[in-house]
Each structure stands twice: as structure tokens, then as C-alpha cells.
Amino acid sequence: MNAPLTIQGNMLLRAALDYAERGFPVFPCSPKDKRPLVPREIDPHTGSPIEKSGGLYKATTDAQQITTWWTKWPNAMIGVPMGPKAGIWAIDPDAPKEVGAADGREYLAKLQIQHGDLPTTHTHLTPGGGKHMLFRWRDDKPITNREGALSKKGINVRGDGGYLIFPPSQFFDGKHYEVEEEFYSFHFADAPDWLYNLILAQPEPKISDRALATVRRPERSDGADRSAYAEAALDGEIGELSSTFKGDRNNRLNVSAVSLGTLVATGLLDEGRVIDGLISACAANGLLQEDGRSRCMATIKSGLSYGLQHPRSIQEREYRSVLSGGPIADYSKALRAPSETGNDDAAEAHKPPAIVATPYKRVDPKTIPLRDWIYGSLLIRKFVTATVSPGGIGKSSLVTVEALAMASGRGLLGVSPKRRMKVWLWNLEDPQEETARKIEAAALHYGLSEDETDGYLFVNSGRDTPLVMAKELKGGAFILAPVVDALVEQCRANAIDVLVIDPFVSSHEVGENNNTFQDMIIKEWGRVAERANVAVHLVDHTRKMSGGETEITTESSRGAKAKTDGCRVVRVVNRMTDAQAVNAGIENPRIYFRTFNDKANLAPPADKSDWFKLESVDLGNAPSHLQFGDSVGVVTTWEWPDALEGVNGPIVDRVFEEIKGGTWRESSQSPEWVGIAVARVLGLDVNKKTDKARIAGMVRTWRAAGSLVVVEGKDAKGKPRPFIEVAEHDE
């Protein structure tokens, strides 16, 4: 007999029908324990229940059947099967159900800190304090109820073969399920790759599987023996990695990947099997759960890449001694050099040396190719250049204008490129629109048309496309070979001439002060330059200046010295000092800076450096109700002023006559300083710093030319002092 529908039952029936109309098959579940209420079918021949014939396997979108069910069980919870039929799957981070149990909510939060936030998606709040986060189903990545690396972490997975209770279902005690954010109802986001990687990770090897690593295998024929040797190596490495303790796991993973990579290179092992085995071992020792699949894969690929370049040569006695003389775990004997494993003299004689001294044969120096300097003496093809600068000076604006100069082939900053160059400018700090402001402001100032840059300027932002070519994990630092390969491939595909990375520090996740790690990274950038046939330009920050330091040099670069040591050219950027501003007659020194190549270990005088000035350019992007748009600093060249500018011959004659008419001291601190005579003629004020600096410059120029000379004399007190006089020249 059907039970009458209650108010709650009416609501549940309406909700179940609504889900069905949206395409989600439903079935009734007990409000006591969430178990399916639709029983399995009975096999008429055996009288036993038929597997997968009841419960979620009876779920339907048929309105008549749904009405029948909820009329029979008016308070039934609404069950929805996960998987391809419903088009969704879910994770269920649970609150701990007992003391000491894992808190799935906390573990999920840690995963998001490590890998990135999960996208906003349709989510249910459960009566137990947990969540059901639902994601769009992907046929290429089918999810079941297996938790993979999330096992025992308090996070359940519900996919094909599983189901969830949907709102507004409630238990007998009144506790109910609800939608977390109505705004995102039925918006099912795509789960990120890192979540798939964790769930689809291989399960932890069983104890029995590990025990197999110590079981001796029978000898086989030649070909089988070699395969057995490779299998022994794979089993041994996986077994050892699986049991490696925290602190040495990543280093052990790298060693295992290198060792097995040498066997993949010989064709004895399949690369996919090796990767699966290593990932499985990482899951067993906990590295996968802590560092994530992407980091583990980066280490594996780095190790395999090296191993693939060094195929293992296996002598018969090596693999036979391993397979017949002891447990498979002893395969490591065969991974040592032949001299350690007892190879005969003939085998030793045929083994090529690992390092060969190459005799040098003299060549005609005229046949040696010229260095391919791309932009003045700053950038050279196949080498690395660094620009070292404090923040806030204008280094990013400087490299932007230089990029435009090379892309257009115009000497915007006084350096004329030999031809138009393809430049890839990758700013790893600023959003794309900020780099666009710098580019368009410079184009406005210099009158560059679109035709002058189209096809020659490439721009990326680290906000949209991060570039990390090296990472430091527990146990060491590693180059991310796939990232480097992709970078080189793009440079080749687009025929890039110059690759600008701004700033260098954002291109890796390695300790800045570790010389070994930084040496590894800078050498990898050198290999990028070589492989891609480009000039690499790294823009680098300076460290905090200590007391007494006034000038930026190569030594001012932030972090380990190996970084700048590995660069072919190091250009440093210095802001104009207050003293220099006085000498140059500048009121606002903060918009002026100078550069020079510090690799030569000889800094030029201030007035002989390459000087630049930031000119403010309005982009004209102001809304109609505002007067001004964005103002952007554009780097322009600036010449140190000539002290004698505007001082012609008749004026010089008047100055010299004034000097001849008096007694003048050399010291600028004296009330009888010769500069006072100069000021009288030129109408300058010696008490004004800029005027005094200009006068001093004139005096130095005339002395250098021999027009003024220093003579010894005595002051009013009879003390000897240096005086300035006009030189006497023969007519």
C-alpha cells in the first residue's frame, strides 16, 4: 500500500523530477543510512540477487517511475549516480568522524596551496560538515571510486559506479544537504589536471608485490636473460624507492629515473612502464601526496632525459651473474663500471672512455666565424647577457625600447641594428596590459607604425604564461627539461633572434644564494641560447646595498655570483646621484640613469657613460570625463651637458681678461676662487650648486687645454697656496 505524500515528500518528489528534467537520473535512498531502497533483481535460475541490477543501476529520468518511487517512499533521499550517464563526478572532503581520523577539508586546503585553487563549481554542503564538489565528466579521463593518492586522506572520490545524495534530501533527524552557492547551481567546472593526476595515480604497491623484488628468477636464453635483467632493474629500483624515507625521496627518485632511463635507451624497458612504476613508488613512500604528481613527473622526466642520452651497455656476464647469483635486488652490481663487476680484459679493452682529451688542430684564424653581435656590444647570438639594476629606475622600459629598436631596425637609442630582429619579450612580473602600456607609449614617442613591429615582436606575460625552468625539491635542484625543450622549440619555430626574460629570478624556483644551483641554471640558459640560436637577455635585480656602497656593479647582483659569472656581458644600471645632478645642472635626478658594461671591470667616468632619461608619455586612454590618461615613462637617450655650451670665443676672451685683472685661488672653497671671475662675466651664481658645478667644469676644461695654469704663490698671510692664471702663449 502506498504511503501518503507528506509536505516533505512533495518537496522531495518535485526536486527529484526537476533533476530528471535536467538530465540527471535519480533513485530513492534510505533517510536512515543512505542505502538504496530499490532492491536488486533475483536470478530465477539460482534465486540469488543479480549483481548491479538494483539501487543506482535502476536510476532513471522517467517521471512516472520517479513518482511511483517517491509515492512509495515519500521521505526517500535523492540518489544520483556519478559517471558518464549523469555527466559529472565528485570529490567529498570529509570532516573527521573520530579522533585521529584524517580531515579531508584540511588536506584539500593544503593541496590547493601547493597546486593552485580548485575552480568554483556546483557544490553541496553535507550534514556531517563536509562538501560534495562536482565536476564535469571527461571521457578521456574516466573517474571511478578509486581515490589514488588521496587514499586515507579524508577525501572520497565518487565517479562511475558511485553515487551521491542530492539536496534537499535529509536524514530522519532533520539534518539535510544543501547547495553551497545558489549562483553556481548546475555550473560544473572542469577539474584541474593536478586533481586528476592525484586520483589516477597508481595505488600503493602491496606488501606481496614488494616481496617479489627479493625472489630469485630462473635463468633464460640470451634474449630472455637481457629482458629479465631489465625487469630486475625495474623491480629493484621501484622497491628501493618505495621504501625510501622522507628526506631522501626526491634524490632517490632522480637516481632511479636516470638508472632506468639508461635501460629505456637500449629498448629493454618501455618508458611508460618505467614512469608508471616510479609514480607508484612515489605514492608508496608518500612523495606523490606531499609534492604532487607534476613535481614528481618533472624529476622523472629530468632523470629519464639524462639516462636516455647514455644507453647502458650490458655485458653477458653482468646480467647472468645478477640473475643466477642472488636476489633481483642485487641488480645494482650490474649498474657499476665493468672493472667493479669482474669483466674480462677483452670487454674492458673495448669499452670506450667516458672522457676523451681532444687534440687541438691549428686553423687559419681568418676562417673562424665572427661573433654575431646583434645589438651593439650588448647582445651576442648564442650567448647570455644580464642587465643588473635596482628596482624603480626604468630597466623594464629600457629593454622594451631596445626590443622595439631591434624589431623595427631603427636606432631609437643610438644603436643601429644590422637588420630587423625578431624579439621575444617575456615579462614574468607584469600583466600583459602593463607591458602593452610600455610598448605603445614608446611607439607613440618614437612614431613607430604597426608595420614596423608586426611579425617581429613577440610578448608574453608571466601572469598568463609562467616560465619556470628549474625547481628545487628536497634533495636537490633540477632543470625542467620539457619546459626548456618547449621554449627552444618556440624560438626555432618563430625564428627568434633575441629572447628577453624580465626578471631572471621569476624564471626558476631555486635558492638564489646557492652557487651550485645558480651555476646550473645559467649554464642551461647558455644551452638555450646555443640550441635556439638566439641571444638571451636576462634582466636581474640587485641585492640590498650595504652602507658606503654608492655604485651598482656586477657584484651588486642579487644572489649567487655564479649567475653573472656565467654571462658573456653584464650591463649595470645606475640612477643619477645628487652629486652628478649638481655637476650636470639637473633639478630632478630620479628620471636619469646611466649604464655601462661592467664585465670589463672598468667603470667609465659618469660623463662618459651611456646616459638615458625617462620622458613621460600620455597614452590618451582617458575616459571622456577625465583630462589625462595613463602616463608612462619612455626611455630616451641623454647627453651629459657640455660645460662650455653657449660660451663662444669673445666670451672666453672676456673671462680671461677678468682673471688677468685679479689674483685668483685654485680652491673652490676660497673667497678668491677663480670661479668667481668666471661667474661675473657669465652672470652665474657661485652660491647655486648647479652654477658652481658648471663653472668648475669650465675651469677644468680650460686647464686641460692649457689655457689656464696653476702657479705657486702666497696668500695674505704669507702661506704658500696654488693660484690660477691665464697661460702666456708666444705670439
411 plus 506 within the same structural domain: yes
Compare 19 and 233 and report the one with higher pLDDT: 19
- pLDDT band of residue 339 (cuts 50, 70, 90) is very low
Closest CA to 699 of 661, 728, 671, 664: 664
Whether the pLDDT of residue 299 is over 50: the answer is: yes
Q: Find out whether the peptide bond into 338 is cis, omega within 30 degrees of 0.
A: no
Mean pLDDT for the stretch of residues 28-51 = 89
Alpha-carbon distance values, 247 to 264, 304, 314 (Å): 27, 21, 32
Alpha-carbon distance values, 350 to 223, 262, 343, 359 (Å): 22, 19, 11, 21
What is the pLDDT, as a whole number, of residue 475? 55
Q: Residue 158: inside a domain, yes or no?
A: yes
What is the pLDDT, as a whole number, of residue 490? 93
541 plus 590 within the same structural domain: yes
Whether the pLDDT of residue 128 is over 80: the answer is: yes
End-of-domain residue from the set 162, 191, 220 = 191
315 plus 407 within the same structural domain: no
Compare 540 and 315 and report the one with higher pLDDT: 540
Domain that holds residue 317: 207-343
Whether the pLDDT of residue 205 is over 50: the answer is: no
What is the pLDDT, as a whole number, of residue 229? 76
End-of-domain residue from the set 191, 220, 241 = 191
User: Which residue is it, cell 611579425?
Assistant: 455
* Top-confidence range, 306-310, 497-501, 582-586: 497-501
- pLDDT band of residue 511 (cuts 50, 70, 90) is confident
Q: Residue 123: inside a domain, yes or no?
A: yes
What is the pLDDT, as a whole number, of residue 149? 86
Q: Which residues neighbour 299 within 8 Å (Cβ) at sequence distance 6 or greater?
A: 250, 253, 254, 257, 473, 478
| Contact yes or no for 287/280 (Cβ under 8 A) | no
Mean pLDDT for the stretch of residues 334-355 = 43
Total domain count for the chain? Answer: 4
Cα(157)–Cα(148) distance, integer angstroms = 9
Residue 335: DSSP 8-state: G
Cα(134)–Cα(139) distance, integer angstroms = 16
Compare 232 and 651 and report the one with higher pLDDT: 651
Compare 7 and 637 and report the one with higher pLDDT: 637
Mean pLDDT for the stretch of residues 49-58 = 89
What is the pLDDT, as a whole number, of residue 269? 87
181 plus 242 within the same structural domain: no
Whether the pLDDT of residue 559 is over 80: the answer is: yes
Q: Based on the number of CB atoms within 10 Å of its own CB, is 457 exposed (0-12), middle (13-18) or buried (19 or more)?
A: buried
Whether the pLDDT of residue 532 is over 90: the answer is: yes
140 plus 179 within the same structural domain: yes
Q: Residue 454: inside a domain, yes or no?
A: yes
Q: What is the per-residue DSSP string for 308-333? A: HTSPPP--HHHHHHHHHHS-GGGGGG
| Contact yes or no for 536/384 (Cβ under 8 A) | yes
User: Which residue is it, cell 655637476?
Assistant: 583
Query: Tens digits of per-residue pLDDT, 231-279?
Result: 888 888 888 888 787 777 888 898 899 889 888 888 888 888 899 889 8
- pLDDT band of residue 217 (cuts 50, 70, 90) is very low
546 plus 667 within the same structural domain: no
Compare 44 and 57 and report the one with higher pLDDT: 57
440 plus 565 within the same structural domain: yes
Q: Find out whether the peptide bond into 417 is cis, omega within 30 degrees of 0.
A: no
Query: Tens digits of per-residue pLDDT, 349-406?
Result: 444 565 678 898 998 998 888 889 999 999 999 999 999 998 888 899 999 999 999 9
590 plus 455 within the same structural domain: yes
Q: Residue 184: inside a domain, yes or no?
A: yes
Q: Residue 641: inside a domain, yes or no?
A: no
Query: Tens digits of per-residue pLDDT, 135-173?
Result: 999 988 999 998 888 888 889 999 999 999 999 999 988
Q: Residue 466: inside a domain, yes or no?
A: yes
Mean pLDDT for the stretch of residues 82-94 = 94
End-of-domain residue from the set 565, 600, 616 = 616
Closest CA to 78 of 222, 201, 179, 218: 179
What is the pLDDT, as a whole number, of residue 345? 43
Alpha-carbon distance values, 474 to 60, 150, 249, 515 (Å): 51, 21, 8, 17
Whether the pLDDT of residue 129 is over 70: the answer is: yes
Binning the chain into helix, strand and coil, the percentages to the nearest 5 are: 40, 20, 40
Q: What is the per-residue DSSP string for 663-694? A: -EES-TTSTTBHHHHHHHHHT--TTSHHHHHH
Cα(1)–Cα(21) distance, integer angstroms = 28
187 plus 69 within the same structural domain: yes
Mean pLDDT for the stretch of residues 4-18 = 74
Nearest 5°: CA angle at 694, between 691 and 698? 135
